[in-house]
Amino acid sequence: MSIEQLARKTVRELTPYQSARRLGGTGDIWLNANESPFANEYNIKCDRLNRYSTCQPSELIEAYADYAGVRPEQVLTSRGADEGIELLIRAFCEPNQDSILYCPPTYGMYAISAQTFDVNTKTVPLTSEWQLDLDGIRDNLDGTKLVFVCSPNNPTGNLINRGDIEALLDMTAGKALVVVDEAYIDFCPEATTANLLDSYPNLVVLRTLSKAFALAGLRCGFTLANQEVIELLLKVIAPYPVPVPVTDIAVQALSPAGRAKTKFQVLDISANRAYLQAGLGMLDGVTVYEGYGNYLLVKFPDADALFNALWDHGIILRRSPIENCIRISIGNRDECEKTLAFIREQLGQN
């Protein structure tokens, strides 16, 4: 038997997530992974590395609970929000029986994580306004254990109506969990649903330090949920999931000074987003969708040709599955200016 034949059928047949890093490219301007342009520096104290970390370091859990306005028993930390998605599927979905439901166009890892564990996937597309189709979801709740909602949604950038999320929580009460992926919420903190946790036992909120906190390379995320959910997730998480240096850095990032720096950087990124939105919005044939995260979805007359020209020029963006759309992460002002200037030139609108 070949090594490949030894693998599970599901894994042999799986098309893995096309992460920005996997897609390669060479260039000077990287605006394809919704990373922060700020390379903050941290001092790492590496004097405890002979010992395992605790499973859920209390200083980190307490710092994040305080930041998110929830109680420590409502927080679980993991290797990025991606691991949170995986833990939820492993803890709540029976393989080859239960389903997750998600609403495309949205983040690709909900489907891939489910497929990896032989969990079925159901899709109920977002409406033409990129909002939830609550009737469509209601019709598909049979056997559904987790409903994923992404707000701000990646890649469209819009917020999902809070009233619709509450209606969904009511509709799924006692049947399924609603997982609100708030990876980008620090760019619009007033839109969080974390303040609904005490009202809805079936609400789960995913968070990360990868975006506004400029720590994509740290791999540190959080799942906020009621204690019963957190305790179930703790049953399936690895014994020592959080490296000691990750805790050191994350606690610094969540300190008052770290939060202040993040707030300042969020303002800077928001100003650059407004600059790019205004600049692209003036071009004929271009539609810029309103975005609440650190990225914009933009529709061009011929997105493939433009994407390839940018790629060849060393400006690496993300092609979206939405027709003629490209997702542009918000970089520093220089990166935004160069990207806008090159797009103008390509479209013959200098």
What is the binding site for ligand PMP (CB under 6 A)? 34, 80-82, 107, 150, 154, 181, 183, 208, 210, 216, 221
Pick between residue 113 and residue 226 the one whose CB is nearest to ligand PMP.
Answer: 113
C-beta nearest to ligand PMP: residue: 80
- Structural tokens at position 197: 């946790």
Shortest distance in whole angstroms from residue 217 CB to ligand PMP: 9
CA distances from 26 to 20, 117, 241, 295, 329 (A): 12, 34, 33, 20, 17
Shortest distance in whole angstroms from residue 19 CB to ligand PMP: 8
Cβ-based burial of 33 (10 A; exposed 0-12, middle 13-18, buried ≥19)? middle
Per the DSSP assignment, residues forming a β-bridge with 327 are: 297, 318
Pick between residue 217 and residue 285 the one whose CB is nearest to ligand PMP.
Answer: 217
Pick between residue 120 and residue 223 the one whose CB is nearest to ligand PMP.
Answer: 223
The backbone torsions φ and ψ at residue 60, rounded to the nearest 5 degrees and listed phi first, read -75, -45
Pick between residue 107 and residue 130 the one whose CB is nearest to ligand PMP.
Answer: 107
Q: Give the contacts of 104 (CB within 8 A, at least 6 positions apart).
A: 123, 125, 126
**How many CB atoms neighbour CB 18 within 10 A?**
12
The backbone torsions φ and ψ at residue 207, rounded to the nearest 5 degrees and listed phi first, read -135, 165
Q: Which one-letter DSSP state was computed for residue 195?
A: G
Pick between residue 107 and residue 343 the one whose CB is nearest to ligand PMP.
Answer: 107
Pick between residue 286 and residue 326 the one whose CB is nearest to ligand PMP.
Answer: 326
Q: Is residue 60 within a helix (H) or strand (E), and if so which, with residue range?
A: helix 58-68
**210: nearest Cα among 122, 107, 72:** 107
Shortest distance in whole angstroms from residue 301 CB to ligand PMP: 27
Shortest distance in whole angstroms from residue 221 CB to ligand PMP: 4
Q: Is residue 208 within a helix (H) or strand (E), and if so which, with residue range?
A: strand 203-208
Shortest distance in whole angstroms from residue 283 CB to ligand PMP: 26
Shortest distance in whole angstroms from residue 300 CB to ligand PMP: 22
Cβ-based burial of 3 (10 A; exposed 0-12, middle 13-18, buried ≥19)? exposed
Shortest distance in whole angstroms from residue 107 CB to ligand PMP: 4
Q: Do residues 223 and 75 lie in contact, with contact meaning Cβ atoms separated by under 8 Å?
A: yes
Q: Which one-letter DSSP state was computed for residue 159?
A: P
The backbone torsions φ and ψ at residue 162, rounded to the nearest 5 degrees and listed phi first, read -60, -40
Shortest distance in whole angstroms from residue 222 CB to ligand PMP: 9
Per the DSSP assignment, residues forming a β-bridge with 228 are: none
Pick between residue 77 and residue 286 the one whose CB is nearest to ligand PMP.
Answer: 77
Q: Do residues 266 and 286 lie in contact, with contact meaning Cβ atoms separated by under 8 Å?
A: no
Pick between residue 102 and residue 300 the one whose CB is nearest to ligand PMP.
Answer: 102
